[in-house]
């Protein structure tokens, strides 16, 4: 155990506040919070809410990097507040709601658009060969599972949308990294037969062709899902589809 | 009172100055412009060649201008940068699974470099 | 007040709520389902479960074995007819999840893999690395997206049930984004609101687990059953309480005291098993209650590891090696590095027992029905009861599926012969709920702070209702909680904004927690025996003559809850001795 974790210090937080009842535009509010070095940013926020300002609004739940609630911009980078450790920051720390989403209030952003997009890509198993429960499980080898496993790790924290300039610049028309990755996860699943249905949504101009491979989504993903990889794979596969359809029409399904 | 979600407008022209990773992305994208211009010059050369020897000689003379040489050096540097950045991200687009493991990224991008070098040697051999 | 009409309203969109919604949607495409949750479904705490889900599937296993492990593990406080139903449904539910795409770990031949788990005599825990709950939750949530008749109401906080004409006909809820009260009129309501672990100072639970679902039913007159049984998970990170899954031990991790001695052998769970070769149902694979109690005793004997965060013991996983840890316990490794700065591949991890799970909850029958017609409950907030006095690890993820499904079907059957309710009566109940909320919201300055009351509550729960309890400690806690409930009436609300008012939400959650906490403490005080997770230093033996019974706590607005008792259903397994010694078997 390194000892620097056990110390404590006063941390200056600059938090974006926005109260729709009162404010025309958001503004920063400065707080000084006594933090232990072992704390994550969420601990600092919880201390702030309990002891300094109970009116601050933010989302959180699991405090273990799996529920995906506490995504926010920390010094301009999309982070989970429960994964960003206080000891890794110096000076004034700036906290803002996730970029590219409308601000509901303070650090709470509006997630409706993301939820709609998830639904749109049909992220559920559309079985290639339906089976009854009596017939038991589908066989799937560890290698077949490994093919999509990484892309099934998305916790829907939306950090990738906050990092993706295309999502911001298209004013959220772009279906975006997480949703397309999830569609790709099911496309890669040996049990699934729904790719054609999903392609109609994702192999489109608002889908994968809006992506210019900035790669920021993968940089910020707290679960190492690598959405950028998923999107490039979808592009490659869609391109192959196109050639098969246009130049090898006898090959059509 | 009720909801009034605040929408923050993004600058369409200066957004990439905000983070170093966006700058790197723009650098990668901008360098491809030089590859484009170089391709156009090459096409112009072909057109001149089809028009006859005198025209083609004129085109070659233009290429020897200092400005033109400067451009080509720049274009070479930028196209190298562009190629490196693309080769380095190639494993994301073309992951290769062997059994339960994926090949390390270095193998996939390494293969790109190897093919590139072999092709370059091949072309240089025929050109010289 | 804006009103939504549905056939079935479900409160809570975690594993149980989602499973109920799918069951309804599949059974009848015309039925209108309102799925109401105070968080987006993916944020529900099911996502934090790590180890896996138990279901008999392998040829060497049998329903009888799962039955006996569960009933013995529960110290015979389980209703055996419920356990019977549960174990038979378990493999079907897990296969169903597989059909919906859940990425269960696999054997080389492509069949589902199972891992050992604490208190289980046979390997029967289906798992998805150490993120089983996460994958179950997301698979269920994503599956719901294909049913247009499931209408979601994300970030709505349910405040009151509407009970008219003796039956439950809906609820009121605050729409967080506007702060407005909404009325849901439904012919049946299913509560799947999760547990109440946040009543303890040191717990594995997410912030949302404040017992709101339990409190809704409790205040409406449904008893809370067996609330004194709180599971303390042996392996929590000492500073944050973050869960390190039981799979750490089932994969071969061992518990050591400060002298590097595997102390579990001194507490009826010996003899020592070879390092890295865990044997089922003994030593580190004993049940959670016994293991946590042993750690408590080690600490009393002064053989604990002293850390900044209090007395701990070591969890040693180093001998598992980096490859196995990465493959089977990657999340555990991440968590240890993030919050403790310790890499379990190279170092031992200090751990201490942590409040984890409520065995008790809303009293339901086998059909997930409560005592109020039209009101059903499933999941951690409910008590059927299959967990008895101590839940076995990997039974709860199955419970949410089996009884979530059951609740959905029961509600469907129920609503088919229900006549529409009395709109006027329901509307006036809705108005009353709104008026109550408005009074809290508009009140000028109260004297008590939310955080202050919450701290006093968790402190007294930690002191009086921990792993070992006494009449003295429990009495003090009961008195303290009664006092806190009185003071809660004067709680201060600083935030007067309608939109996303988390101050208001915290105040309401605190109210739920205080009610649940009191049910836990009073039930504990009244149970003068030691059984499973309820251990009394002043009544150290199990007393089947007096207490082979479920305790039932009935709500009172001003007094402490009234405790009654109800017989346990015994079918084939009479109470016996819980044996976790390896040598004798």
pLDDT tier, A1 (very low <50, low <70, confident <90, very high otherwise): very low
SS3 A44: helix
Does C95 reach chain A within 8 Å, measured CB to CB? yes
CA nearest to A154 within chain C? C138
A214, A166 contact by CB (below 8 A): yes
Average per-residue pLDDT in chain C? 96
Average per-residue pLDDT in chain B? 92
Nearest-10 crossing angle of helices C502-526, C450-464:
20
A86, A44 contact by CB (below 8 A): yes
Query: Last residue of a domain, which of A91, A109, A127?
Result: A109
What's residue A153's pLDDT? Answer: 97
Instruction: State the distance between the two ends of chain C, measured CA to CA, in whole angstroms.
Output: 64
Answer yes or no: do A99 and A188 share one domain.
no
Largest CA distance in chain B: 80
In a domain, B95, yes or no: yes
Answer yes or no: do A235 and A131 share one domain.
yes
Give the rounded percent of residues in chain C with a pLDDT score beyond 70. 99
In a domain, B7, yes or no: no
Provide, as residue numbers in chain C, all residues whose Cβ is less than 8 Å from the Cβ of A108: 500
**Mean pLDDT over residues C571-577, rounded?**
96
Sign of CA dihedral C100, C105, C106, C108: positive
pLDDT at A3 over 80: no
Please give, rounded to a whole number of angstroms, the shortest distance from the CA of A8 to a CA of chain B. 30
pLDDT at C286 over 70: yes
CA distances from C36 to C111, C129, C192 (A): 36, 30, 10
Lowest mean pLDDT across A2-11, A194-203, B59-68, C36-45: A2-11
What's residue C585's pLDDT? Answer: 46
**Mean pLDDT over residues C494-517, rounded?**
97
Largest CA distance in chain A: 71
Partner-chain contact A133 C95, CB within 8 Å: yes
Does A169 reach chain C within 8 Å, measured CB to CB? no
What's residue C289's pLDDT? Answer: 96
In a domain, B9, yes or no: no
Residue B4 φ then ψ, to 5° = -155, 70
In a domain, B3, yes or no: no
Long-range contacts of B36-40 (CB under 8 A, 24+ apart): B37/B71, B37/B75, B38/B72, B38/B75, B38/B79
Give the rounded percent of residues in chain C with a pLDDT score beyond 90. 96
pLDDT tier, A2 (very low <50, low <70, confident <90, very high otherwise): very low
What's residue A188's pLDDT? Answer: 98
Please give, rounded to a whole number of angstroms, the shortest distance from the CA of C177 to a CA of chain B. 7
Instruction: State the distance between the two ends of chain A, measured CA to CA, in whole angstroms.
Output: 60
A vs B: CB pairs below 8 A:
77
Answer yes or no: do A119 and A242 share one domain.
yes
Q: How many domains does chain A have?
A: 2
What's residue B127's pLDDT? Answer: 83
Answer yes or no: do A120 and A239 share one domain.
yes
Q: What is the pLDDT of residues A63-89, one digit of tens each?
A: 999 999 999 999 999 999 999 999 999
Answer yes or no: do A16 and A131 share one domain.
no
Answer yes or no: do A79 and A167 share one domain.
no
Answer yes or no: do A125 and A247 share one domain.
yes
**Mean pLDDT over residues C405-418, rounded?**
96
Question: What does the alpha-carbon distance between residue C56 and residue C206 come to, in Å, rounded to a whole number?
Answer: 30
Nearest-10 crossing angle of helices A177-187, A142-149:
160
Range of the domain at A177: 112-251
pLDDT at A251 over 80: no
Is C152 catalytic? The answer is no
Provide, as residue numbers in chain B, all residues whose Cβ is less than 8 Å from the Cβ of A99: 8
Instruction: State the distance between the two ends of chain B, measured CA to CA, in whole angstroms.
Output: 78
What's residue C417's pLDDT? Answer: 86
Residue C462 has a CB neighbour count (10 Å cut-off) of: 16
CATH number assigned to the domain comprising residue A129: 1.10.1060.10
Instruction: Burial-class residue C28 by CB neighbours within 10 Å (0-12, 13-18, 19+).
Output: middle
Answer yes or no: do A145 and A102 share one domain.
no
Alpha carbons within 13 A on the beta-carbon side of C140: 32
pLDDT at A194 over 80: yes
Q: What is the pLDDT of residues C139-169, one digit of tens each?
A: 999 999 999 999 999 999 999 999 999 999 9
Among B6, B10, B29, the residue with its CB nearest the CB of A26 is B6
Please give, rounded to a whole number of angstroms, the shortest distance from the CA of B109 to a CA of chain C. 25
Does B122 reach chain A within 8 Å, measured CB to CB? no
Answer yes or no: do A222 and A119 share one domain.
yes
Torsion angle, alpha carbons of A81, A87, A88, A91, to 10: 100
Q: What is the pLDDT of residues C8-21, one digit of tens each?
A: 999 999 999 999 99
And the tokens for B6?
Answer: 């605040």
Question: What does the alpha-carbon distance between residue B81 and residue C129 come to, in Å, rounded to a whole number?
Answer: 40
Does B67 reach chain A within 8 Å, measured CB to CB? no
Please give, rounded to a whole number of angstroms, the shortest distance from the CA of B111 to a CA of chain A. 18
Answer yes or no: do A62 and A80 share one domain.
yes
* Neighbours, chain B (3 or more CB pairs < 8 A): A, C
Question: What does the alpha-carbon distance between residue C20 and residue C71 come to, in Å, rounded to a whole number?
Answer: 25
Range of the domain at B49: 15-127
Residues 77-96 of B with CB under 8 A from A: 89, 91-95
Q: How many degrees, rounded to 5, is the angle at CA A107 between CA A102 and CA A109? A: 30
C195, C211 contact by CB (below 8 A): yes
Q: Tokens 């109440």 identify what position?
A: C196
Does C179 reach chain A within 8 Å, measured CB to CB? no
For the question of an ipTM over 0.90, the answer is yes
Alpha-carbon Rg for chain A in angstroms: 21
CA nearest to B99 within chain C? C108
Structural domains in chain C, CATH included, are: 235-355 (3.90.700.10), 431-567 (1.20.58.100)
Interface test with B, best of C327, C499, C500, C501 (most B CBs within 10 A): C499
Q: How many domains does chain B have?
A: 1
What's residue A7's pLDDT? Answer: 78
Residues 479-508 of C with CB under 8 A from B: 497-499
Provide, as residue numbers in chain A, all residues whose Cβ is less than 8 Å from the Cβ of C108: 141-142
Query: Last residue of a domain, which of A109, A144, A163?
Result: A109
pLDDT tier, C457 (very low <50, low <70, confident <90, very high otherwise): very high
Does C501 reach chain A within 8 Å, measured CB to CB? yes
CATH number assigned to the domain comprising residue B49: 1.20.1300.10
Does C101 reach chain A within 8 Å, measured CB to CB? yes
Smallest CA-to-CA distance from A141 within C125, B102, C99, C107 is with C107
pLDDT tier, B1 (very low <50, low <70, confident <90, very high otherwise): low
Q: What is the pLDDT of residues C123-147, one digit of tens each?
A: 999 999 999 999 999 999 999 999 9
Query: Last residue of a domain, which of A81, A109, A137?
Result: A109
Of C183, C233, C352, C391, which one is the catalytic site residue? C233
Answer yes or no: do A103 and A137 share one domain.
no
**Mean pLDDT over residues C372-392, rounded?**
97
Which residues of chain B are at the C interface, by a Cβ-Cβ cutoff of 8 Å? Answer: 1-4
C149, C411 contact by CB (below 8 A): no
CA nearest to B15 within chain A? A165
Answer yes or no: do A241 and A126 share one domain.
yes
pLDDT at A5 over 80: no
**Mean pLDDT over residues A97-112, rounded?**
98
Provide, as residue numbers in chain A, all residues whose Cβ is less than 8 Å from the Cβ of B5: 20, 102-104, 110
Residues 205-234 of A with CB under 8 A from C: none
pLDDT tier, A8 (very low <50, low <70, confident <90, very high otherwise): confident
What's residue C446's pLDDT? Answer: 85
CA nearest to C133 within chain A? A66
Residue C32 φ then ψ, to 5° = -95, 120
SS3 C20: helix
What's residue C26's pLDDT? Answer: 98
* More confident: C44 or C585: C44
**Mean pLDDT over residues A196-219, rounded?**
96
Please give, rounded to a whole number of angstroms, the shortest distance from the CA of C173 to a CA of chain A. 19
Of C43, C135, C182, C249, which one is the catalytic site residue? C249
Question: What does the alpha-carbon distance between residue A82 and residue A63 come to, in Å, rounded to a whole number?
Answer: 5
pLDDT tier, C583 (very low <50, low <70, confident <90, very high otherwise): low
Is C233 catalytic? The answer is yes
pLDDT at C94 over 80: yes
């Amino acid at each position: 155990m390194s000892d620097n974790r056990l110390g404590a210090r006063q941390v200056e937080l600059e938090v974006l506040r926005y109260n729709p009842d009162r404010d025309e535009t958001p503004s920063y509010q400065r707080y000084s919070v006594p933090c232990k070095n072992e704390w994550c940013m969420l601990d600092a926020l919880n201390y702030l809410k309990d002891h300094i300002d109970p009116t601050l609004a933010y989302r959180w739940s699991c405090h273990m990097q799996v529920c995906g609630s506490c995504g926010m911009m920390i010094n301009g980078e999309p982070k989970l507040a429960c994964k960003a450790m206080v000891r890794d920051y110096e000076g004034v720390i700036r906290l803002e709601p996730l970029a590219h989403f409308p601000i509901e209030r303070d650090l709470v952003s509006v997630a409706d658009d993301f939820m709609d997009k998830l639904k749109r890509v049909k992220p559920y198993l559309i079985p290639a060969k339906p089976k009854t429960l009596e017939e038991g499980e589908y066989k799937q080898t560890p290698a077949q599972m490994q093919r999509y496993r990484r892309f099934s790790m998305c916790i829907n924290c939306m950090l990738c949308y906050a990092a993706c300039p295309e999502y911001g610049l298209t004013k959220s028309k772009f279906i975006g990294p997480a949703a397309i990755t999830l569609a790709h996860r099911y496309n890669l699943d040996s049990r699934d037969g729904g790719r054609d249905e999903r392609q109609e949504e994702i192999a489109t101009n608002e889908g994968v062709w809006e992506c210019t491979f900035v790669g920021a989504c993968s940089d910020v993903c707290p679960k190492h899902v690598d959405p950028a990889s998923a999107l490039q794979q979808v592009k490659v596969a869609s391109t192959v589809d196109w050639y098969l359809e246009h130049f090898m029409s006898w090959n059509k399904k | 009172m009720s909801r009034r979600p605040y929408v923050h407008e993004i600058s369409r022209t200066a957004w990439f100055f905000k983070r170093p990773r966006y700058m790197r992305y723009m650098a990668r994208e901008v360098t491809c412009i030089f590859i484009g211009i170089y391709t156009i010059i090459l096409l112009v050369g072909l057109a001149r060649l089809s028009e006859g020897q005198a025209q083609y000689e004129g085109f070659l003379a233009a290429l020897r201008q200092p400005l033109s040489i400067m451009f080509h050096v720049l274009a070479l540097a930028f196209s190298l940068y562009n190629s490196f950045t693309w080769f380095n991200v190639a494993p994301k687009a073309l992951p290769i699974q062997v059994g339960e493991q994926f090949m390390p990224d270095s193998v996939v991008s390494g293969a790109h470099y190897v093919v590139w070098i072999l092709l370059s040697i091949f072309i240089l051999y025929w050109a010289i | 007040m804006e009103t939504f009409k549905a056939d079935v309203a479900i409160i809570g969109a975690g594993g149980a709520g989602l499973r109920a919604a799918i069951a309804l949607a599949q059974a009848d495409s015309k039925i209108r389902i309102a799925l109401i949750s105070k968080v987006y479904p993916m944020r529900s705490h099911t996502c934090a479960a790590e180890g896996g889900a138990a279901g008999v599937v392998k040829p060497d296993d049998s329903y009888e074995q799962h039955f006996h492990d569960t009933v013995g593990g529960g110290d015979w406080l389980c209703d055996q007819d419920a356990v019977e139903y549960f174990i038979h449904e378990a493999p079907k539910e897990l296969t169903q999840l597989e059909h919906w795409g859940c990425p269960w770990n696999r054997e080389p031949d492509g069949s589902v893999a199972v891992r050992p788990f604490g208190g289980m005599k046979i390997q029967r825990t289906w798992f998805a690395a150490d993120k089983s709950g996460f994958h179950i939750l997301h698979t269920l949530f994503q599956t719901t997206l294909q049913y247009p008749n499931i209408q979601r109401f994300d970030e709505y906080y349910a405040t009151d049930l509407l009970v008219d004409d003796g039956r439950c006909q809906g609820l009121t809820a605050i729409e967080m984004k506007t702060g407005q009260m909404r009325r849901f009129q439904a012919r049946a309501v299913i509560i799947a609101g999760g547990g109440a672990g946040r009543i303890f100072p040191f717990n594995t639970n997410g912030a949302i687990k404040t017992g709101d679902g339990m409190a809704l039913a409790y205040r409406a007159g449904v008893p809370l059953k067996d609330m004194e049984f709180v599971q303390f998970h042996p392996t929590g990170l000492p500073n944050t309480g973050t869960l390190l899954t039981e799979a750490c031990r089932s994969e071969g991790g061992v518990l050591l005291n400060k002298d590097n001695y595997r102390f579990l052998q001194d507490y009826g769970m010996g003899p020592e098993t070879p390092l890295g070769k865990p044997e089922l149902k003994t030593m580190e694979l004993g049940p959670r209650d016994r293991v946590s109690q042993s750690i408590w005793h080690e600490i009393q004997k002064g053989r604990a590891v002293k850390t900044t965060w209090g007395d701990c013991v070591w969890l040693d996983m180093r001998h598992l090696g980096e490859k196995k840890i990465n493959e089977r316990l990657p999340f555990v490794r991440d968590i240890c590095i993030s919050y403790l700065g310790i890499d379990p591949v190279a170092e031992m991890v200090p751990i201490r027992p942590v409040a984890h799970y409520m065995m008790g909850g809303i009293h339901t029958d086998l059909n997930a029905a409560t005592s109020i017609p039209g009101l059903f409950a499933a999941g951690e907030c409910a008590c059927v009861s299959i967990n008895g006095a101590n839940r076995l690890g990997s039974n709860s993820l199955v419970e949410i599926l089996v009884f979530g499904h059951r609740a959905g079907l029961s509600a469907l059957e129920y609503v088919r012969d229900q006549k529409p309710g009395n709109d006027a009566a329901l509307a006036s109940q809705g108005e009353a709920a709104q008026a109550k909320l408005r009074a809290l919201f508009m009140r000028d300055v109260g004297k008590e702070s939310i955080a202050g009351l919450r701290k006093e509550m968790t402190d007294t729960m930690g002191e009086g209702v921990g792993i070992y309890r006494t009449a003295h400690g429990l009495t003090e806690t009961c008195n303290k909680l009664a006092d806190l409930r009185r003071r809660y009436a004067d709680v201060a609300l600083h935030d007067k904004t309608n939109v996303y008012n988390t101050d208001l939400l915290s105040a309401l959650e605190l109210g739920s927690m205080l009610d649940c906490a009191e049910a836990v403490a009073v039930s504990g005080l009244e149970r003068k025996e030691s059984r499973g997770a309820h251990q009394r230093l002043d009544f150290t033996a199990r007393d089947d003559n007096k207490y082979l019974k479920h305790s039932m706590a009935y709500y009172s607005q001003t007094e402490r809850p009234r405790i009654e008792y109800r017989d346990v259903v015994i079918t084939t397994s009479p109470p016996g001795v819980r044996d976790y010694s390896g040598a004798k078997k």
